[in-house]
Amino acid sequence: MKHLILSLALSTSVIHATDWPTYQHDNRRSGITPDQLNAANLSQSWIFTSKSRPQPAWHGKMSRDSYAKRTFQADLFDYDKAFNLIAADGMVFFGSTSANACIALNDSTGAELWRLPVGGAVRIAPAYDGGKVYFGSDDGQIYCANASSGAQIWSYRAGPSDTLIASDHKFISRYPCRTGVLVKDGKSYCGFGLLTWHTNYMVKLNSATGAEENKTAKIGNGFSFEGLLLADANNVYVTQGKNTVASFNLSNVGYIGTLPRSAGTYATLTSSGTMFHGPCHNSSHRQDHMLESTASSRSEISKHNNLNRIIVNGSDRYKMIRDAVTATGANTWTQGIESPVTMILGGTTLYIGAKNQVAIIDTTTGNVLKILPIDGTAYSLAIANNKLFASTTTGKIYGFE
């Protein structure tokens, strides 16, 4: 009986202490945490307002690729519309594309604790691991900093020079880091590059020292490392905007191949080894869709028309399709939500980031439990320390408790 009580106590403490240490919670980008918040009682506890709005790498959206003669309706480059955030150890960390910095906030008050300025925009959310934060910048470097103080521990540059070039009223490296940093088993993985006619680098570093362990160079059509990194037990994957997802071996970042043709900077790996990635566009039917593929064998399973985002939790699937969210599995329902752009799952509750609101939905019934008003569109959400956090296109970050 004592062992049972201890086991329950430990289980409860783990659930309540769950962090959100990387973008979409984990390296599979599942968007799932066991934390169950009391949605009915959630209310705004603070707002952090940036002096400058987010400055995305690509303004508006790419509606047509004239060279490839393809028309898109979904946004291929929507990975930095807001300041991407994580939450861990009583803090909220985010990368700023306008202030060129990684910034830490107190998760209870929203007060700024520190900021580490760097030489370029920080577009992907930092990664937290073992009291350190890791992030990449348009200045062509990745950085490791002390999570408590913001003191820089080390930096690393993959490109052959520190030359910066003008781009959209700012300066960037010819080899920017627009993949962020993926931390796994004491190693840091990151990609550098942007243009297909320049070399792109996939790199594996020692997380403690920043020492380079392996480096793979790719150049040519099909390689433009600009998008989120994901990982399973054996491989690391990079989404590439106009190009399809590329896979590399975790052991030495050796190039393996590409997944079936898609585009965009969104992907999620399921626990069963499949990957949803996209958006893609069917030129013959002029219909956006997302591909579902077996990640390890890089073989296509199926197409999902009009799918923008998905959360896969065992046999349950929650799909964001245009102006609605649908559920299949243990419960089946459809709930209309105006202009949804992202979603996460906390326990049995869905949180939908949308225009001027975060909608909270019960996964059993599909009923809207609460609407939290915000200013702008919430592209980045996180749950940690019994709190919900949202970052919007206006440069505001909200804490709800």
Residue partners of 269: CB distance under 8 A and separation at least 6: 28, 29, 30, 230, 231, 232, 237, 275, 295
CA triple 129-131-133, angle to 5 deg? 60
Domain that holds residue 242: 28-34+54-333
Q: Do the beta carbons of residue 339 and residue 359 sit within 8 Å?
A: no
Say how far apart CA 16 and CA 107 lie, in whole Å.
15
Nearest in space to 268 (alpha carbons), one of 305, 241, 293, 240: 293
Flag whether 345 is in a domain: no
Q: Is 378 inside a domain boundary?
A: no
Using only C-alpha atoms, the chain has a radius of gyration, in whole angstroms, of 20
Examine residue 20 and state whether it is found in any structural domain, yes or no: no
Task: Using alpha carbons, select from 31, 21, 53, 57 the residue that is nearest to residue 178.
Answer: 57
Q: Which long-range contacts (CB under 8 A, 24 or more apart) does 110-113 make?
A: 110/45, 110/46, 110/47, 110/48, 110/397, 110/399, 112/48, 113/150
The structure tokens listed for 291 are 């591909």
- DSSP-assigned letter for residue 40: G
pLDDT of residue 4: 36
State the pairing for strand pair 340-346/32-33.
parallel
Closest CA to 384 of 93, 80, 58, 88: 88
Cβ-contact 383, 400 below 8 angstroms: no
Judge whether 276 and 304 are in contact, CB under 8 Å: yes
The pLDDT value recorded for residue 71 is 55
- Among residues 112, 141, 53, the alpha carbon closest in space to that of 376 is found at 53
Domain count, the chain: 1
- Close Cβ partners of 287 (under 8 Å, ≥ 6 residues apart): 281, 305, 306
The string of DSSP letters for 201-233 reads: EEEEEETTT--EEEEEEE-STT---BS-EEE-S
Question: What is the per-residue pLDDT for 20?
Answer: 98
pLDDT at 60: 65
Query: Cα–Cα distance between 263 and 280 in angstroms, integer?
Result: 5
CB atoms within 10 A of CB 67: 7
Specify if 257 maps to a domain: yes
Supply the pLDDT for residue 70: 55
* pLDDT tens, per residue, the chain with 401 residues: 333 333 333 333 333 348 999 999 999 999 999 999 999 999 999 999 999 999 998 876 655 555 555 555 566 678 899 999 999 999 999 999 999 999 999 999 999 999 999 999 999 999 999 999 999 999 999 999 999 999 999 999 999 988 888 877 788 899 999 999 999 999 999 999 988 888 999 999 999 999 999 999 999 888 999 999 999 999 999 999 888 899 999 999 999 999 988 778 899 999 999 999 988 765 544 457 888 999 999 998 998 888 999 999 999 999 999 899 999 999 999 999 998 999 999 999 999 999 999 999 999 999 999 999 999 999 999 999 999 999 999 999 999 99
Q: Examine residue 342 and state whether it is found in any structural domain, yes or no.
A: no
210: domain CATH number? 2.130.10.10
218 in a structural domain: yes
Does some domain include residue 229? yes
238/394 Cα distance (integer angstroms):
28
Cis upstream peptide for 279 (omega within 30°): yes
What is the pLDDT, as a whole number, of residue 86? 98
The answer to whether position 94 is within a domain reads yes
Q: Give dist(CA 171, CA 183) in Å, integer.
A: 27
Q: What is the pLDDT of residue 332?
A: 98
Burial class (CB in 10 A: 0-12, 13-18, 19+), 380: buried
| Whole-structure pTM value | 0.92
